[in-house]
Chain A
Amino acid sequence: MDGIIDKTHGAGGSATAELIRDIFREAFSNDYLEPLSDSAVLPPADGKKIAFTTDSYVVKPVFFPGGDIGRLAVCGTVNDLLMSGAVPAYITAGYILEEGLDIQDLKKIVCSMADTARESGVKIVTGDTKVVEPADPGEPGLMINTSGIGFVDISTDISPANIRPGDAVLVSGCLGDHHAAILGSRMSIKNNILSDAAPLVCMVSGLIGSGICIHAMRDITRGGLATILNEFSSSSGLHIRIEETAIPVSEEVRGFCGILGLDPLYMGNEGKCVFVLPEEDQDKALDIIRRSPYGEKAEVIGKVTSDPADVTMRTAIGGVKIVSPLYGEGLPRIC
């Protein structure tokens, strides 16, 4: 199937059927999708709790260094499920295609979704397609919504309310990569920064499976690490102190941020998360994270204390500053 997307592809007639057959069904094929009926009928949950999430992806450009909107749409939802302690199982895919989109580009994006779903161990079980006029006729794109279902053990309880004084704070790798990759490509800046969009299934299931009691975890997306730590601090009523020198940021992202006046603490990733867990488990956890895919650069970056709720950072030159949540917007959308 070639050419570009036009209104007929969203009209529900033969062009829609062709699109579904040749692009989506071909890439995603599985038993639940196959009947192509109005809804996917899934097996019973087996005594587990069900985690259910949804997110929409509108990033431009749709292809960027290190990934594309399709990989992002699967990783985002898979990681959201993981963060509640769920094992991701099924996701849906809703497409809003802009007229003029190259069908080969759509195919690439759909294949990338299929690959990422396979890597994450999830099935794409149902979907929808609509066609709209392009916002910018010079650059027709697409938007994707994914919803996901995962299963959580009855005993699992991961919540910032469980954070205790003395807990260690870990991040799974370098901050800011996705954000910098998107900004860089929007601004046509040549560098080697790649988006870190990745599903963290092995890392998180490895930690949970090892019996480590994770008190809180969150994937570091919009708002950055600073905003998440502030949420952790206010929901637990505890103080979080981090060390600037321990926070992993690649040399290239650091340079990029320096030029644009950006702060990696406020930048989004799509394949990094922050964990808060008991200090006695910190070394074991660090080892598990570093040995899982996408976790080689993990570090312990700080500690929870019983001081009044706030987030502070000891800076590289020995000052102390308050780390506030992200204020305002300022930056373009990155997911």
Chain B
Amino acid sequence: MRSCALWKSYRSGVMKLSDAAEYLKEYKGRELRLMEVCGTHTAGIVQNGIPSMLSERIRLISGPGCPVCVTVTEYIDRLIALSHEPGNVIVSFGDLLRVPGSAGSLNQARAQGADIRFVYSPSEMLTFAKKDRYRTFIFAAVGFETTAPVFASMLSQAEEEGIDNIRLLTSLKTMPKAIRRVSDGIDGFLAPGHVAVIAGTDAYKRLSEELGVPFVVSGFTGKELTAALYALVRLAGKEEAGFLNLYPRAVKSGGNGKARAAVRSFFEAGDAAWRGMGLIQGSGLYLREKYIKYDAGSRNLDMDRNVKGCRCSEVITGKCDPGDCPLFFTKCTPEHPVGACMVSQEGACFNCMKNRI
């Protein structure tokens, strides 16, 4: 199989970066629409100046893999409502604070006096909670397969130490079904490397067969992204399906069994609403009944209100470019974001703005 030969040349070092780069620049085959699913890939592509290295026939489209971008407004609204209840402290990763809900953002709630703290790691919340037992600390648990284990390990520490004043408002999602939802008109996928580290690659192999397009798992450095794009263009250019793992130092086909087991013990699958994509069955992770005491009311937060004119839904699903949105860089800027894709460092609009592509 073609993908095998590609893999061998990559492994043996025959595929040089300069050859791959030249191929991508000179590519004259059929027009390709390739989707990088993962937000970290979007950021890495811009960071490394990769769009400037591609032939005009290759278009990269950012997919639904930025966790903040696919969070619906009702989730933000619920966080804001919780933040105003006495005794509550909201703890979150930075990006989420600026995401607009249907009426304001967490940052605005903070300016009105709500106690909202921004951390780099959920374990910081346990430190807060131990110091101040009379208040309830609620983590805005947003993320994909990659982040879920972090919350599982935080909960197991909380269980062990008997810390009972913490809650999670979860908006945890799993990727494969969302990829199927946006696959229309896409000729190949850069599969999410981080997700595959945890979840393994089997799901992507199956998707590749089912959709008949290639999937290449990529790492995050400039070299890794270039090599993966090269492989993807080689396959997609010939309309070959196929699956390649070009991130083998981190990704094993079965994923990380331990992390998955930890997630399974605390969370179960359920339906989840994705911004711009609607409800996707079984694509969410929710706390199991046994641990429901840690839940801050995460289910059924499905409503999503877009501001008039905002085309976030189409951007997230790859149906339009950020530049096609009438609000892009007029009403919607990184300082005053209208949609979530302009807030997150991994968002399509933010990155487009940053590179002015």
Chain A residues at the B interface, C-beta cutoff of 8 Å = 138, 183, 186-187, 260-261, 263, 313-322, 324, 327-328, 330-332
Contacts and interface: CB of A to CB of B under 8 A. Distances in A.
B21 A321 contact: no
Contacts of B353: 324, 327
Residue from A313, A316, A318, A330 with most neighbouring chain B CB atoms (10 Å): A318
Given A261-B40, A261-B345, A324-B354, A319 B222 contact: yes
Given A324-B356, A328-B335, A319 B52 contact: yes
B49 A321 contact: yes
Interface in B34-83: 40, 43, 46-53
Given A321-B47, A328-B334, A316 B354 contact: no
A315 B354 contact: no
A236 to B, nearest CB: 20
Contacts of B335: 327-328
Given A315-B222, A317-B222, A318-B21, A331 B53 contact: no
A314 B131 CA distance: 48
Contacts of A263: 47
Contacts of B121: 187
A332 B117 CA distance: 11
Interface of B: 17-18, 21, 40, 43, 46-53, 94-95, 98, 118, 120-121, 124, 131, 222-223, 226, 333-335, 343, 345, 350, 353-356
A260 B121 CA distance: 10
A319 to B, nearest CB: 3
Contacts of A327: 333-335, 350, 353-354
A289 B124 CA distance: 41
A293 B118 CA distance: 37
A260 B120 contact: yes
A187 B350 contact: no
Nearest to A313: B49
Question: Which 8 A-B residue pairs are closest in the complex by CB-CB distance?
Answer: A319-B49, A327-B334, A321-B49, A317-B222, A315-B49, A320-B52, A328-B334, A319-B53
Nearest to A316: B222
A280 B45 CA distance: 36
Given A260-B120, A261-B345, A330-B94, A319 B48 contact: yes
Contacts of A324: 353-356
8 contacts: A183-B120, A186-B120, A260-B120, A261-B345, A324-B353, A324-B356, A327-B334, A328-B335
Nearest to A265: B47
A330 B345 contact: yes
Given A322-B356, A327-B353, A317 B226 contact: yes
Contacts of A319: 48-53, 222
A260 B93 CA distance: 12
Contacts of A317: 17, 21, 48-50, 53, 222-223, 226
A180 B98 CA distance: 23
A138 to B, nearest CB: 6
Contacts of B48: 315-317, 319, 321
A187 B118 CA distance: 12
A324 B118 CA distance: 25
Nearest to A138: B131
A104 B350 CA distance: 46
B334 A332 contact: no
Given A187-B121, A261-B43, A328-B335, A318 B356 contact: no
B49 to A, nearest CB: 3
Contacts of B40: 261
B49 A320 contact: yes
Given A317-B21, A327-B335, A332 B118 contact: yes
Contacts of B343: 328
B200 to A, nearest CB: 23
Nearest to A331: B94
A200 B335 CA distance: 33
A317 B343 CA distance: 27
A197 to B, nearest CB: 22
